Structure 1
Amino acid sequence: GAPGAADRRFRPPTHLRSVSPWAYRISYDPTRYPKYLPEAYCLCRGCLTGPFGEEDLRFRSTPVLMPTVVLRRTAACAGGRYLYAEDYVAVAVGCTCVPEQAKDAESLNSSLDKQGAKLLLEANDQPTTP
């Protein structure tokens, strides 16, 4: 086989090798499509940046949020079927490490409200004109 192939086979996944490791849980909402949505959560308060990989509380593990479109069931019903409307949610997709004193980094990330997420997603959906 290729050199290093055996090493890669036993290597833990990125989300566990990170200095800000995370795991996944499944969010369930019966009024949302999809009903089940994986979301990341940080495993440490600090970051594993010490010389031997120990936790350093001068840094903070913080979720990385991604704007995501879901369908939300409305109260309306047409022809015996529920009607759904687009909704924009911020889903945690991983964790990153920030200095503890950098309070702005989290506030910028968490300020990604529905309107901001909608604008970001709509901007990416626009066709480019030559």
Structure 2
Amino acid sequence: MQHLALACTALAALLVAAAAAAAGSSGVPMAPVLPAGRGEHRAASGLLSRIQRSVRRLARDSDECDDSEALSDRSISPWDHRVDHDPERYPATLHEAVCRLDGCAVSARGSRARDVPRLRSVPVTQAVAVLRRGLGPRGETVLVPDTHTIAVACVCVRDDSC
């Protein structure tokens, strides 16, 4: 269903672009009009047919996808989560992504994934605001603002040696 909404959005963008092109150099959008000539009608009809086929294909493909599976498992750079625990930090527990593969799991639809040379999985990092426990000027415990960088996901990139 999400793919169908995306297709409808793309169709709307195409229609807006067509209306903008019809506005010509004046920059004032004109109401869409039916093509005047037979050849123009055929071209518009062909475009509409291609759009309709694309929407049907996206709807069919969306039925085959299992969106219930976690994103970390569907990615071509899958990752697991590990717990990063530091009692001197607030929050004491953060969950961090760890890439499962050095490379990327690329497969054609229905075939087994394979590791592709020249592609590698790298973590996507995010700085997180934390508080660290420290000692104040009189020896009291204070919380000091700090940042901690954690990996939140993994992504497939070309190897630097390419």
Distance in 1 (alpha carbons) for counterparts of 2:63 and 2:154 = 27
Counting helix residues as a fraction of each chain, which structure ranks higher?
A: 2
Counting strand residues as a fraction of each chain, which structure ranks higher?
A: 1
- The alpha-carbon distance between structure 1 residues 31 and 46, as it changes in their structure 2 partners (threshold 3 A), is same
Amino acid at match of 1:91: I
What is the CA deviation profile of residues 19-43 of structure 1, one whole-angstrom value per residue up to 9, with x for unaligned ones? 0001101101010001111000100
Gaps of 5+ in 2: 1-58
- The alpha-carbon distance between structure 1 residues 34 and 23, as it changes in their structure 2 partners (threshold 3 A), is same
Q: How many residues of Structure 1 are paired with residues of Structure 2 in the alignment?
A: 99
Whether 1:88 and 2:147 are equivalent positions in the alignment is yes
Moved over 6 A (4+): 3-7
TM-score, structure 1 normalization: 0.65
Greater relative contact order (CA < 8 Å, ≥ 6 in sequence): 1
Shift of 1:81: 6.0
- The 5 Å alignment of 1:58-97 reads 58-76=118-136, 82-97=141-156
- The alpha-carbon distance between structure 1 residues 8 and 19, as it changes in their structure 2 partners (threshold 3 A), is closer
Shift of 1:57: 2.9
Shift of 1:75: 2.3
Gaps of 5+ in 1: 104-130
RMSD of aligned alpha carbons: 2.8
Shift of 1:6: 9.9
Distance in 1 (alpha carbons) for counterparts of 2:115 and 2:143 = 44
User: Percent same amino acid at aligned positions?
Assistant: 33
